[in-house]
Amino acid sequence: MEHLNFQLHSTPASQGKKLEVDVLCGIVSSGNLEILVEPVSADSKVSADTCLITIETSAEGFSETWQAVLTQFAESHAVGGLRFTLNDVGATPAVVALRMAQAHEEWCAAIGANR
Amino acid sequence: MSIRHSFLESSARERIYSLLDPHSFKEFCPPSERLVSPHLAQLSLSQAFDDGIVTGSGMLLGQKVLIAAQEGRFNGGSVGEIHGAKLVGLLHAAILQKPSAVLLMIDSGGVRLHEANAGIIAISEISRAILDVRAEGIPVLVMLGGSCGAFGGMGIVVRLCHTVFMSEEGRLSLSGPEVIETVMGRDEFDSKDRALVWRVTGGKLRRALGEADKLVDDDLTAFRDAAGDWLKQHIESGAAPLSYIDLCERQEFFLARCLEFANTKDGREILAKRLSLSEQQWTLANSKEFESSLNKVDVKYTNNPLDAWKEGLQALNEEDQAFADRLFGEGQHQLQYNGYFVVGKAQTQRGPVHVIGTRDRAPIGVDVALKLSGAVLAAISEDQKNASTLPIILISETQGQLLSRHDELLGLNGTLAHVALCVDLARRSGHRLLTLVRQEAVSGGFLSFGMLGDRICALPESQVRVMDLRAMARVTKIPLERLEGLAKHSAVFAPGAENYVLLGGVHEQWTEEQDWTEALASALDHCSAVDERSMLGAERGGRHLAASTAQRVKQQAIAFA
């Protein structure tokens, strides 16, 4: 298992709203991963334009690939102030990108329904 | 025509959301609480934030229900310490809150081998909790249609519940076809023959055999409709716990079924007898067509079904005689045996007791199982006539369930669940239940009988396990050397009665030096009808998380209500 942490620059998700919703997307199974999306806790010193991503992965030695996939994700989605926690079982970069987008979409839908 | 949404292909969460009234689901111990399995981490394996099971409450047709769904795609929906404890907590909450029903979407291969001992004890605790929920008159519905089906201990758990709805795609059995093939050879069960696997374990066969109550199309809406109709029915009629008469009727039903299909190894014959359809027709039939073509079955056992267990009993052999002398004292017992089955009466320092159990490292198949249940029912009935409730000593000596396609076909899981229901009725009727583990007690045979005791004592040199380390290494694909190394420090998966003591699954271990008649008397004094094993596991330090996790789910259920 490899543990990876990323702090990435992104457009703030909040725009002044409270981000109290969390969402789980995907399943921990071979070639797949689960993603938990939560607001970064209020007492942490992370700024609103930073996205935190934590990964537990069974595929070791791919930190550069993760960096590339996740940087692109953070640039193209408004996920500042959010924390993504991933449990990965060797998902391909394409699957990771898809699940990240899906997780974000589900989180947006949940926060919309919650308002 | 509306689009079908496959139950099989849905995730545990999708199944729950589609079943309950919109926006009514509240999850207990949700993923954000990160109740992950520490045992998987120790083996450097991936964890899931919900440990593969979703638990919570919600509304179905405006009625409050408690609900759980296993995620078959995470480690085969297998039951580990936390996974199991979440379900136990939900069931305990049901006893307090009395919801209209408990709904379980089972999708599980059984015990999670990476934490095998904690897993099998958890399944035993789930079993006890379901029996407690039923005793409160709360109906429990199982929905089966996931890719993992219900195997191993979860196959027994399913049949402890009130009602079972299955899709054709669902499977229900005890030993998986792969396990039977590995041990007994391909001639016994070719696990690659998918059609055969489904004719032995699949939804249509189980429905025709009487192991499932309704066949439902593989469609989320179909399951929702079926569950809704079922709930309406139960709100009107209630769900009384099983009585002695109910269990006697079941005893006859199972005995008659075994006789009727005594030589059957393929579901074809059963389906042909139970359906007014040709093979081609039942293969293609949807659930509605299938249901309407089921023949009415009126099975009668030829002899007195409640006496069948007495057939062929004879005096004990020398070795067993010596064993019984040591337990009860010379001349203090009248025990008999037939094959793997042993039964009789004995005197203890605390008065007379019934003795029921297995011997000679019994592989438990449907025949032995029905002798056990028959003897338990007879003990209940005899004491009722004498206005007494003598303790029952459960002698548990088993290498596990019999690995046989025939027995799986005849619903070994359901038959073992029947044994468990009979043992549970004995407890509820006031009998103390004391289990003695002799030689070895393994997996399914132990789970449905000995593990239901009020107090479980392991005799000297006896072994308790789910599977030996070599088989475990093969299934989990973890090198044997690594497992052996870990086994030295972890009680959670390594075989051994002493590990079960640490985990609270065995109450005490006896020694050779002890006077067993005294140990027996003391154990009888300490029988408690309340399941304290998770507390015991926490106290002894072998199972830290089971009690606290169950408590946490229960507290969230209370806080939400």
Question: Complex ipTM, two decimals?
Answer: 0.94
- The residue among A29, A40, A57 with the most chain B CBs within 10 A of its CB, best to mutate, is A29
Q: Do B74 and A27 touch (CB under 8 A)?
A: yes
Residue A114 is predicted with a pLDDT of 57
Examine the pLDDT at B428 and tell me if it is beyond 60.
yes
Both structure tokens of B139? 């109906």
Distance, in Å, from the CA atom of A107 to the CA atom of A19, rounded to the nearest integer, reads 10
- Name which CATH class applies to B305-556: alpha beta
The pLDDT-based confidence of A41 (bands split at 50, 70, 90) is confident
Chain B hits for A36, Cβ within 8 Å: 31-32, 49
Whether residues B47 and A87 touch (CB distance < 8 A) is answered with yes
- Answer yes or no: do A38 and B32 touch at CB < 8 A: yes
Q: Which two tokens stand for residue B284?
A: 């293609």
Measure the CA–CA gap between B540 and B533, rounded to whole angstroms.
10
Contact B46 A56 (CB under 8 A): yes
**CA–CA distance, B5 with B8 (Å, rounded to integer):** 9
pLDDT over 90 for what percent of chain B? Answer: 91
Q: Averaged over B413-433, what is the pLDDT?
A: 98
Residue at token pair 């509306």: B2
Inter-chain touch B49–A34, beta carbons under 8 Å: yes
pTM > 0.90 = yes
Burial of A96 (C-beta count, 10 Å sphere; 0-12/13-18/19+): buried
Q: How far is CA B134 from CA B86, B91, B120, B431, B533, in A?
A: 18, 10, 21, 19, 20
Strand order in the sheet with B63-70: B26-28, B53-60, B63-70, B101-106, B140-144, B163-166, B214-215
Domain extent, residue A106, equals 2-14+22-114
Q: Characterize the bridge pairing of strands B63-70 and B101-106.
A: parallel
| Residue-wise pLDDT tens digits, B304-343 | 999 999 999 999 999 999 999 999 999 999 999 999 999 9
Q: Which of B23, B32, B49 sits opposite A87 (nearest CB)?
A: B49
C-beta atoms of B47 and A28 within 8 A: yes
Closest Cα in chain B, distance from residue A68 (Å): 23
Interface test with B, best of A24, A33, A99 (most B CBs within 10 A): A24
Percent of chain A with pLDDT over 90: 79
A28·B46 Cβ contact <8 A: yes
pLDDT tens per residue across span B222-251: 999 999 999 999 988 888 999 999 999 999
Distance CA B68, CA B90 (A): 8
Distance CA B493, CA B113 (A): 7
Q: Exposed, middle or buried by CB within 10 Å (0-12, 13-18, 19+), for B360? A: middle
Inter-chain contacts counted by CB atoms under 8 A, chains A and B: 45
- Checking if the pLDDT of B490 tops 70, the result is yes
pLDDT at B297 (0 to 100): 84
Please answer whether residues B415 and B371 qualify as being in contact, where contact means their C-beta atoms are separated by less than 8 angstroms. Answer: no
B69 in Cβ contact with B107 (< 8 Å): yes
- Chain B CA closest to residue A59: B46
Nearest partner of B70 among B32, B99, B111, judged by Cα: B111
pLDDT at B475: 75
N- to C-terminal Cα distance for chain A?
Answer: 38
- Least CB-CB distance to B48: which of A22, A34, A38? A34
* CB-based burial label for B97 (10 Å; 0-12, 13-18, 19+): middle
B71 and B11 in contact (C-beta within 8 Å)? yes
Q: Is the pLDDT of residue B53 over 80?
A: yes
Point out the least confidently predicted range of A16-20, B42-46, B127-131: A16-20
Mean pLDDT of the B468-497 span: 86
User: What are the tens digits of pLDDT across the range B63-103?
Assistant: 999 999 999 999 999 999 999 999 999 999 999 999 999 99
pLDDT at B549 over 80: yes
Domain boundaries, chain B: 305-556
Question: Which of A24, A58, A89 lies at the smallest CB-CB distance from B49?
Answer: A24
How many domains is chain A partitioned into structurally? 1
- What is the per-residue pLDDT across B264-310, written as a single tens digit (0 to 9) for each? 999 999 999 999 999 999 999 999 999 999 998 887 888 899 999 99
pLDDT tens-digit series, residues B93-104: 999 999 999 999
Contact B188, B404 (CB under 8 A): yes
User: Residue B55: its pLDDT value, please?
Assistant: 98
Assign A15 a pLDDT band (cuts: 50, 70, 90).
Answer: low
Per-residue pLDDT for B1 more than 60? no
**B439 pLDDT exceeds 70?**
yes
Say if the Cβ atoms of A1 and B46 lie within 8 Å.
yes
> Are B73 and A32 an interchain contact pair (Cβ–Cβ within 8 Å)?
yes
Looking at residues B115-138, what average pLDDT do you find?
Answer: 97
**Rounded CA gap, A99 and B382, in Å?**
63
* pLDDT computed for residue A58 by the predictor: 95
pLDDT of residue A17: 64
